[in-house]
A and B are shown apart, each in its own frame.
Chain A
């Protein structure tokens, strides 16, 4: 499954009706978003119970 397939699946699950062009336009913002969330997760200290 490619990154684009995952994005398409996520948008369908969210109830969005997107064309291929819409997906194309959304992909760069989605990629940036995932990177930012990953940075946030990494920056938060792990809790002792799930370290």
Chain B
């Protein structure tokens, strides 16, 4: 049988036994070998994945069930994996083989998943280009000259290039949603705290989230439920979409915006209106402060996480991450408090906004995938650093901790555009339900 197109199809085919876990693993491994130029993996799946596939095969033969039984899931190399090298994309941890799994890897194993290699990332997840100085510059599968985004770039590549059934990523300022947007897949950053982070190498304790990268919304829902032990995806099936209040964000933080991206957002809003959702423009002026607030918060927290190594072994970091960590060491307690005071104001504003709307709609990134190595975006009236532009519309939802989903919607000059859907805290069900509608409208 042909390789399944989605995680849901793979799980169904494995249950029906029209394909075996080992056949699936071998098919993906062959594709990984052919797609080595993409630099999707730091540690590609090897014999361990085949052993796990054989075990899943025996369990399926015994009639056992499991939401992900035999399904190959790639893991961002920031999550500890028992007996499997975990580098965090760094030179410092190049030989670290953990003795225990991260909590979420354990949950995937408990659901029967095959742990399918460790994907490339920006060093220590501290950046959004995935130009990794130690493990290779990752490439966008839609155009090899372009960046896949990051920091979960390898996971997005593996999903879009069909190198696994789905992947696990992490998101501190947009690291799931940005590569999902630039490569053209689904990426879900759930509510802060919805998924445990034990065994994930920290970047910013109050900003870090884990979540799925998948080819479809259904896959994101299935994987999120398996990871959380909840029923968000099941609840999403029962969400009444007609009459739902959607806020279309119109604020200074949105601008500048690539014109083609702007057109796709307007097209999606019009399609939602035609479907019976109540779409109206909303403003959130406090968003203007999110970039500064996120920067101070993250610089301080990341520097605290790396306090020992950045002082003892600064040359073991790549230049961009080294400068960010050194700068973070200079953040004063007073500056951090100023940022947390502003953060509280932003959280309050978001809370009030969701009194009037159910879902917030905005682009995931203001630009499509930049060319690898490009440092500045040239807008009509000014220039903006590429990394700043990429996190401008995603970081606000790390600060506030609300669930945010990136869904592919159309293209500009052959490169995908991601729409971002944001919901109330713990309302992943409604976010996924609107995401599925957008996905359906995009294919019309």
A, B in one complex: yes
Tell me whether B323 and A37 are in contact (CB under 8 A).
no
Tell me whether A16 and B335 are in contact (CB under 8 A).
no
Q: Chain A: which residue is nearest B289 at the CB level?
A: A43
Determine which of A18, A36, A37 lies in contact with B326 in the assembled complex, contact meaning CB atoms within 8 Å. A18
Tell me whether B339 and A15 are in contact (CB under 8 A).
no
Tell me whether B329 and A15 are in contact (CB under 8 A).
yes
**Contact residues in B for A22 (Cβ distance below 8 Å):** 314, 326
Tell me if B342 counts as interface (CB < 8 A to partner A): yes
Determine which of A25, A29, A44 lies in contact with B342 in the assembled complex, contact meaning CB atoms within 8 Å. A44
Q: Chain A: which residue is nearest B341 at the CB level?
A: A44
**Contact residues in A for B327 (Cβ distance below 8 Å):** 26, 29-30, 33
Please report the C-alpha to C-alpha distance between residue A36 and residue B298 in the assembled complex, in whole angstroms.
13
Interface centre among B310, B323, B339, by most chain A C-beta atoms within 10 angstroms, is B323
Tell me whether B323 and A40 are in contact (CB under 8 A).
no
Tell me whether A44 and B338 are in contact (CB under 8 A).
yes
Determine which of A14, A41, A43, A44 lies in contact with B329 in the assembled complex, contact meaning CB atoms within 8 Å. A14
- Smallest Cβ distance from B52 to chain A, in angstroms? 44
Tell me if B189 counts as interface (CB < 8 A to partner A): no
Tell me whether A37 and B311 are in contact (CB under 8 A).
no
Tell me whether B299 and A40 are in contact (CB under 8 A).
no
- Smallest Cβ distance from A21 to chain B, in angstroms? 11
Please report the C-alpha to C-alpha distance between residue A41 and residue B342 in the assembled complex, in whole angstroms.
9
Determine which of B299, B314, B341 lies in contact with A33 in the assembled complex, contact meaning CB atoms within 8 Å. B299
Tell me whether B292 and A39 are in contact (CB under 8 A).
yes
**Contact residues in A for B402 (Cβ distance below 8 Å):** none
Please report the C-alpha to C-alpha distance between residue A43 and residue B293 in the assembled complex, in whole angstroms.
11
Tell me whether B292 and A14 are in contact (CB under 8 A).
no
Please report the C-alpha to C-alpha distance between residue A11 and residue B331 in the assembled complex, in whole angstroms.
10
Q: How many residues of B contact A (CB 8 A)?
A: 24
Q: Chain A: which residue is nearest B293 at the CB level?
A: A40
Interface bits B304-324 vs A (CB < 8 Å: 1, else 0) = 000000110010000100011
Tell me whether A37 and B329 are in contact (CB under 8 A).
no
Given known A-B contacts A36-B296, A40-B289, A16 and B341 have beta carbons under 8 A apart = no
Tell me whether A14 and B319 are in contact (CB under 8 A).
no
- Smallest Cβ distance from B265 to chain A, in angstroms? 28
Tell me if B97 counts as interface (CB < 8 A to partner A): no
Determine which of A10, A17, A41, A44 lies in contact with B311 in the assembled complex, contact meaning CB atoms within 8 Å. A17
> CB within 8 Å of B: which of A5-33?
10-11, 14-18, 22, 25-26, 29-30, 33
Tell me if B295 counts as interface (CB < 8 A to partner A): yes
**Contact residues in A for B296 (Cβ distance below 8 Å):** 33, 36-37, 40
Q: Chain A: which residue is nearest B324 at the CB level?
A: A29
Please report the C-alpha to C-alpha distance between residue A22 and residue B89 in the assembled complex, in whole angstroms.
23
Tell me whether B330 and A14 are in contact (CB under 8 A).
yes
- Smallest Cβ distance from A43 to chain B, in angstroms? 6
Q: Chain A: which residue is nearest B291 at the CB level?
A: A36
Please report the C-alpha to C-alpha distance between residue A40 and residue B295 in the assembled complex, in whole angstroms.
11
**Contact residues in B for A25 (Cβ distance below 8 Å):** 319, 323
**Contact residues in A for B310 (Cβ distance below 8 Å):** 16
Interface centre among A18, A36, A39, by most chain B C-beta atoms within 10 angstroms, is A36
Residues on B facing A (Cβ under 8 Å): 289, 291-293, 295-296, 299, 310-311, 314, 319, 323-324, 326-327, 329-331, 335, 338-339, 341-342, 345
Q: List 22 A-B contacts (CB under 8 A).
A: A10-B330, A11-B329, A11-B330, A16-B310, A16-B311, A16-B314, A16-B326, A16-B329, A17-B311, A18-B314, A18-B326, A22-B314, A29-B324, A37-B335, A37-B339, A39-B289, A40-B289, A40-B292, A40-B296, A40-B338, A41-B338, A44-B341
